[in-house]
Amino acid sequence: MIMTNIPRRKIYENLLEYEDSILEIKILTLNKDNYEKYVNKYETCINTLIKSYKKINALIIIFLENKKYKTEQDFEDDILFYQKNEIEIYKQIFKNKNFSNEFKNNLKYLNKEFEKFEKISYDFLIKIKPKLELYNTQIAEILTIRRDKMK
């Protein structure tokens, strides 16, 4: 049996985790008082968000390749390959015509910010929150691309 649509389903699963992290960031960034009050509770949200962001990017490549998998393990092996080779992910994303320049620019921005990330701060969250929300919207749009309409 060949398994299809694994990447699309897994992207949606990871988007839920990503969106949970965005909700936590929204709570933290309502105001400085909220940040001070809840930062210890939600401190790990940014690490979870970065992890799911990177996994979604790997899944997007597999989704666009339209690979068929005989087992779930074959699929997981591909995911691990791309997660370990982030440069390969971004090479493929930037050369792919299915992605808008706006998406590519947003990806560059987020990658740069995540590379610099050391410790959660109110200012950091305020700065990246709009780009995180934009990325969420852009991924949802990408998932609406029909296979027969891909470039």
Does position 3 have pLDDT exceeding 60, yes or no?
no
Q: Over the chain, what is the mean pLDDT?
A: 86
Percentage with pLDDT > 90 across the chain:
40
Residue spans of the domains in the chain: they are: 6-144
pTM for this model (two decimals): 0.85
Using CB atoms within 10 Å of the CB of residue 7, give its burial: 0 to 12 exposed, 13 to 18 middle, 19+ buried.
Answer: buried
Residue identified by tokens 């087992």 is 71
Does position 10 have pLDDT exceeding 90, yes or no?
no
Distance between CA 25 and CA 76 in Å, rounded? Answer: 29
